[in-house]
Structure 1
């Protein structure tokens, strides 16, 4: 099978999954706080709306257990087909929901339920997309291969944000709130059909094929993961927490922070976010490739140190004018965080053996995601109490980064010591990567 097709299948599904997920995040402040959670105090409406945003993150560990079990028992490919259907179906149905004005409390209840299903599906998608790439990777370029599905985050976010912005520019405010916001959600059905077609044409990964043929599949992956690999799970959780809070801020909450507390227009805030994401598209594969030569751990530590040092300056300077917002979004999101994120899929997956790799990778990552997903609720309360204080917001970020930095120092250098067995690389070369 052509390696390029495998990478494209990994990336395509990832883009669409994150398109759906971040589409909701963008719509939270623009639409849902008004149409589904009306309140006389806009801050309360926003707080409640972001609670539903966090609910999607909270549901991701559930999905990691469900789909991790399936991925380690029946295969990576079949599991990834199901996550696509779950994610796309939820987004499509959100586009059909009645509003609070039409059905009262039933509207936000249905929205939260669908958001939870979104989170469950995404909880299984990320780990599977990473493994689809890394378990096909020839030895020596696993970092590059593992960085490709990570491109789904900036591409999906830009697509989700752009779709809402484009519809908003083509409609009046009244039309946008009445029906315009629904179009990007309904369009996800078309994208899901396309991704399913792409993924249906690939084979199962070599690592899983070997486990299946040798009869070494785990009976209950989640139990075996915590029995034999619990340290790796907690390593992943801790390593993700530090950059995770900053990631959620830089890629979603910054829109609210910039418009509500710094006085920027929505167009300026979205432009800054787009600049950061565009930079990531270049940075992620470049750093992924570099990690195959100098190691994932070295890059990860360097990224965390830079993020720690620039936390307070970031919050200080973005309030000084649009040009500073653009520069710092490009630097913090597009370079520093992108360098960290580009290595995460490969770095984390290398901590687990093949028989529980889907479960271990997904559970650790998604537990951390569930924690950081409630960041917007915390920041809304902080902003209401302290305003856009650089020391309050910067100090919050620094505390999380410090935890990750300490854990990273004691983490193994997976470029040298990896749970991807040599025999898998041999199996891979002999049986699967004939082009």
Structure 2
């Protein structure tokens, strides 16, 4: 494997493990944590409390974006990405051995929330760093393809996490699954993290950061510098992410609770639908990332958001019509439409910021939006209690957020030909785009 191949592998393998751990928690929230750590005579109350801890992980992600953005913009992308793996892996392993509410009482949910905070902080630094590890090594003309590769960590991590829980579920009785079976995937993350750290330790710092460091043009406090010089693009990134972010959280996490509690599907059907949707993304993401190198990020982004907007109500209408419709809509909406937006997102957002504050700007904008949409499950649980699984209520909710992102996408610049490093400034097409 050549150097660029190793870099791409390092970017995606770490991303897979981070998202495996993060979404493993999300999958376990509706299936396990609501029962073992937030027991209540009212199932909706248990579910609401459990998803509050799920939201805490999202809320912590901006903290990680500032912390690891500082490290990544001052000391290098590689160093930051080693620490994100340690934080996520350690938190997940501890969740795997955490006593339940029945065993230690109120301390159990408190510790679970703290460990979820550490997960969120770690992921807040991982995503932006993985994108930069790939795009700052990308050959000229295929940055979109390279930027799409780390995005594969989301579907692969989620599929791996959900399949691991599904496999354990099939191999155990319900009592065994709740007693010890669910812990195995969390403990297995230790093995994966050690592997990822070994792989990332063997790569060099990105050429773009080395140029920046050699020039001495390093931000003293990257977060302050970002807010001083690029605050408009931070706000732009937040708005661009809000719309598809709410749909993403629903279709990749909350859908398990929504389908089993409110639509009456079995746990296996819900997990199968999610697996089909995420597996479809494995094909869509690299293809769309490569396409964006020819027609631009903006055009694809607008098209994806427009399709999400138009199909929001049909999605919620059809997923209740039976397992086959459920499977089809997850594949179409999550695996194709949303994946088209997500495939371009990392590259698009990174191109909004200069190298000096790119890690911080990219991460802060994305993760603030993630913190907002992470509390969607709490809102949706309350909505479902009030109006049931109404396609108009849930679809209308999605359309509001998507409309905001769509307006911002239309008014955003096309970034495909923007200068990405000091050497790019010499390219005629880069000068024209400045």
TM-score after normalising by structure 2: 0.97
SS across alignment from 1:415: coil
Q: Is the 8 A contact 2:211 2:422 kept in 1?
A: no
**For 1:48-85, what per-residue CA distance to the aligned partner results, in whole angstroms no more than 9, with x for missing partners?**
00000000000000000000000000000011000000
- Which residue is 1:407 aligned to? 408
Q: Distance in 1 between matches of 2:347 and 2:309?
A: 23
Q: Distance in 2 between matches of 1:239 and 1:60?
A: 17
- Which residue is 1:356 aligned to? 357
Number of equivalent positions: 426
Aligned pairs for 1:287-306 (under 5 A) are 287-306=288-307
How many angstroms does 1:424 deviate by?
A: 5.2
Q: Distance in 2 between matches of 1:262 and 1:36?
A: 24
Q: Distance in 1 between matches of 2:150 and 2:40?
A: 39
- Which residue is 2:420 aligned to? 420
- Which residue is 2:312 aligned to? 311
- Which residue is 2:75 aligned to? 74
- Which residue is 1:432 aligned to? none
- Is it true that 1:118 corresponds to 2:119 in the alignment? yes
How many angstroms does 1:425 deviate by?
A: 8.4
Aligned pairs for 1:379-398 (under 5 A) are 379-398=380-399
- Is it true that 1:238 corresponds to 2:239 in the alignment? yes
- Is it true that 1:265 corresponds to 2:235 in the alignment? no
SS across alignment from 2:258: helix
Q: Distance in 2 between matches of 1:168 and 1:111?
A: 22
- Which residue is 2:323 aligned to? 322
- Which residue is 1:373 aligned to? 374
**For 1:113-167, what per-residue CA distance to the aligned partner results, in whole angstroms no more than 9, with x for missing partners?**
0000000000000000000000000110000000000000000000111111111
Q: Distance in 2 between matches of 1:336 and 1:45?
A: 33
Q: Distance in 2 between matches of 1:226 and 1:97?
A: 39
SS across alignment from 1:421: coil
Q: Is the 8 A contact 1:211 1:355 kept in 2?
A: yes
Q: Distance in 2 between matches of 1:197 and 1:420?
A: 29
- Which residue is 1:93 aligned to? 94
SS across alignment from 2:264: coil
Q: Distance in 1 between matches of 2:192 and 2:181?
A: 18
Q: Distance in 1 between matches of 2:220 and 2:340?
A: 36
Q: Distance in 1 between matches of 2:426 and 2:255?
A: 46
Q: Distance in 1 between matches of 2:175 and 2:305?
A: 44
- Which residue is 1:209 aligned to? 210
- Which residue is 1:431 aligned to? none
Q: Distance in 2 between matches of 1:261 and 1:180?
A: 25
- Is it true that 1:38 corresponds to 2:39 in the alignment? yes
Q: Is the 8 A contact 1:90 1:118 kept in 2?
A: yes
- Which residue is 2:179 aligned to? 178
Aligned pairs for 1:332-343 (under 5 A) are 332-343=333-344
How many angstroms does 1:170 deviate by?
A: 1.0
How many angstroms does 1:311 deviate by?
A: 0.3
Any runs of at least 4 consecutive aligned residues in structure 1 with deviations exceeding 4 A, and if so which? 424-427
Q: Distance in 2 between matches of 1:425 and 1:19?
A: 38
Q: Is the 8 A contact 2:301 2:340 kept in 1?
A: yes
- Which residue is 1:22 aligned to? 23
**For 1:65-112, what per-residue CA distance to the aligned partner results, in whole angstroms no more than 9, with x for missing partners?**
000000000000011000000000000000011110011000000000
**For 1:257-282, what per-residue CA distance to the aligned partner results, in whole angstroms no more than 9, with x for missing partners?**
11111111111111111111111000
TM-score after normalising by structure 1: 0.97
Q: Distance in 2 between matches of 1:340 and 1:305?
A: 10
Q: Distance in 2 between matches of 1:419 and 1:117?
A: 35
SS across alignment from 1:300: helix
How many angstroms does 1:426 deviate by?
A: 8.2
How many angstroms does 1:421 deviate by?
A: 3.1
Q: Is the 8 A contact 1:210 1:424 kept in 2?
A: no
Q: Distance in 2 between matches of 1:273 and 1:183?
A: 21
How many angstroms does 1:419 deviate by?
A: 4.5
Q: Is the 8 A contact 1:139 1:425 kept in 2?
A: no
Q: Which moved more, 1:50-59 or 1:264-273?
A: 264-273
Instruction: Name structure 2 gaps, 5 residues minimum.
Output: 428-434
Q: Distance in 2 between matches of 1:406 and 1:352?
A: 20
Instruction: Name structure 1 gaps, 5 residues minimum.
Output: 428-435
**For 1:3-47, what per-residue CA distance to the aligned partner results, in whole angstroms no more than 9, with x for missing partners?**
111000000000000000000000001111011000110100000
Q: Distance in 2 between matches of 1:31 and 1:273?
A: 17
Q: Distance in 2 between matches of 1:377 and 1:106?
A: 22
Compute the RMSD of aligned alpha carbons. 1.1
Q: Is the 8 A contact 1:138 1:425 kept in 2?
A: no
How many angstroms does 1:171 deviate by?
A: 1.1
- Which residue is 2:432 aligned to? none
Aligned pairs for 1:152-163 (under 5 A) are 152-163=153-164
Q: Is the 8 A contact 2:351 2:420 kept in 1?
A: yes
- Is it true that 1:134 corresponds to 2:135 in the alignment? yes
How many angstroms does 1:422 deviate by?
A: 5.3
